[in-house]
Amino acid sequence: MRIGSFTLRHGRPAIMGVVNVTPDSFSDGGRFVDPACAIEHALRLADCGADLLDIGGESTRPGADPVDTGEELERVIPVIEGVRRASRVPISIDTTKAAVGRAALDAGADMLNDISAGRFDAGMLPLAAESGVPICLMHMQGMPRTMQAAPHYGDLIGEIQEFLADAINRAVAAGVNRGAVAVDPGIGFGKDARDNIVILKRLAEFARLEAPILIGTSRKSFIGKMLDLDVDKRLEGTLATLAVAIEGGAAIIRVHDVAATARFMKMYLALRA
């Protein structure tokens, strides 16, 4: 899969740096709402080793309220334009809205990252087909506002696989190139701590979907619960989850702490070579 100037390669997961242009992010508390600060942060992540940047203007933390299209556009488009003027680093737009996705692509983004897997906006999959850019489709049980109320599965892995297989089929039916679809099992999106751990331990089973796997465990609450740590102290726990995820076949790892992850990755890959 080619994402802008970057090509995913077997055996070397891509580091996707997170840029939250939101006032209510669980991980960085609105530190980068100002476009200039967000652009500076994004470029710093690229310098630290991010292969891709994932820019989003709507928080999807548990309990988050939706953001209207106009406000989301005001948050992300100046940042995408600023990053693109300064760098050729590939940019992913993290949105569920086709209008935001289209404007982001026009501003220089190279990929769509939709946590709803094209379910919230009927225009998202046709946009991916028309533009020809890669799209990541994620599993989520429920909605961000309610997803952690009482997540429940009869067959955790089987149900997620079935959901993602259907998402891939819907994308292809909409005209998306099969080779341009990545999937995300949705760590923390309608899953409890045990569910998240099982997904990581059984990640290799998702290879049957024949699509690159994106994993986002960075600083998430299940790590905090296991280690009894606040969000800003979860780096070591995050790196442990990434080691298991990479072993299970993750092709893209979405993280906040890019510099530390890049150092971890260099050592990990040297040991695995």
Q: Which residues are catalytic?
A: 220, 254
Rounded-to-integer distance, Cα 231 and Cα 220, Å: 7
Beta strands in 21-117 (DSSP E): 52-56, 91-94, 111-114
Nearest CA-CA partner of 2 in 111, 124, 127 = 111
The vertex-216 CA angle with 133 and 57, nearest 5°, equals 65
Nearest CA-CA partner of 128 in 89, 179, 166 = 179
Phi, psi of 185 (to 5 degrees): -70, -5
Beta strands in 123-251 (DSSP E): 135-138, 181-184, 214-215
Pairing of the two strands 111-114 and 91-94? parallel
